A = this chain, B = another copy of it.
Amino acid sequence: MRVLGISGSLRAASINSALLRVAMRLAPPEVTLTVFPGVGGLPLFNPDLETQLPPQVSALHAAVAASDALLFASPEYAHGVTGSIKNTLDWLVGFEPFVYKHVAVLNASPRAHHADVALRETLKTMSAVIVEAASVSIPLLGAHLTEEGMVQDPMISSAIRGSLLALRDAVVRGQPGQGPASPLP
């Protein structure tokens, strides 16, 4: 099972990007998690470009199409989603393989809720299937943990593992490309 991680921060020291890298290390053997490396290289969304997609957008589309599920981790900037994560999603609106894709939204800053709510609203509007059991808050902001520290922290590592297992289970239960299984968790 292939999961594509998407970080909404371009900062080298981003805790959201670190969280996804840690999730790569903690993924169960049957789950292959890769992090999409091209968020920062995408052009700003312009509908006029959709007739001849820029290669960076084609790479995003190919990565999404090849994945069974998506795992988002994105910070909140000024009570909103980051421009980078929304720009990534803008390029996926109407992209057929995204529809009914199982997605999970990690929140590394549980006190922040505006961006989390807005990101979920957009994902729902785009007909993604949000796997609630896999969409967990992991209080990393201010914890000053290294990636090794996250792996070693029993609470954090089990929350991340639990998210990936819940995402795996949802994909296994769901009918890929045919919408959500019923009932969803």
Q: A86-B86, A87-B87 are in contact. Are A121 and B80 (CB under 8 A)?
A: yes
Tell me the smallest distance from the CB of A118 to a CB of chain B, in Å.
6
User: Would you call A81 an interface residue if the criterion is a C-beta within 8 Å of the partner chain's C-beta atoms?
Assistant: yes
Number of copies of chain A assembled together: 2
User: Would you call A84 an interface residue if the criterion is a C-beta within 8 Å of the partner chain's C-beta atoms?
Assistant: yes
Chain B neighbourhood of A90, CB < 8 A: 77-78, 82-83
Cross-interface CB contact of A12 among B48, B80, B89, cutoff 8 Å: B48
Cross-interface CB contact of A44 among B10, B46, B47, cutoff 8 Å: B10
Interface residues on A, range: 20 to 34
Residue of A80, A89, A124 most packed against chain B (CB within 10 A): A80
Cross-interface CB contact of A93 among B78, B85, B121, B122, cutoff 8 Å: B78
Is A44's CB under 8 angstroms from B40's CB?
Answer: yes
Chain B neighbourhood of A85, CB < 8 A: 83
Is B87's CB under 8 angstroms from A84's CB?
Answer: yes
User: Which chain A residues numbered 55 to 103 have a C-beta less than 8 Å away from chain B?
Assistant: 77-90, 93
User: Would you call A114 an interface residue if the criterion is a C-beta within 8 Å of the partner chain's C-beta atoms?
Assistant: yes
User: Which chain A residues numbered 125 to 143 have a C-beta less than 8 Å away from chain B?
Assistant: 125-126
Task: Point out residues on A near B: beta carbons under 8 Å.
Answer: 10-12, 39-40, 42, 44-48, 77-90, 93, 114, 118, 121-122, 124-126
22 contacts between A and B (CB under 8 A): A10-B48, A11-B46, A11-B47, A12-B48, A39-B44, A40-B46, A44-B44, A44-B87, A45-B77, A45-B82, A78-B89, A78-B90, A78-B93, A78-B125, A79-B122, A79-B125, A80-B118, A83-B87, A83-B89, A83-B90, A86-B86, A87-B87
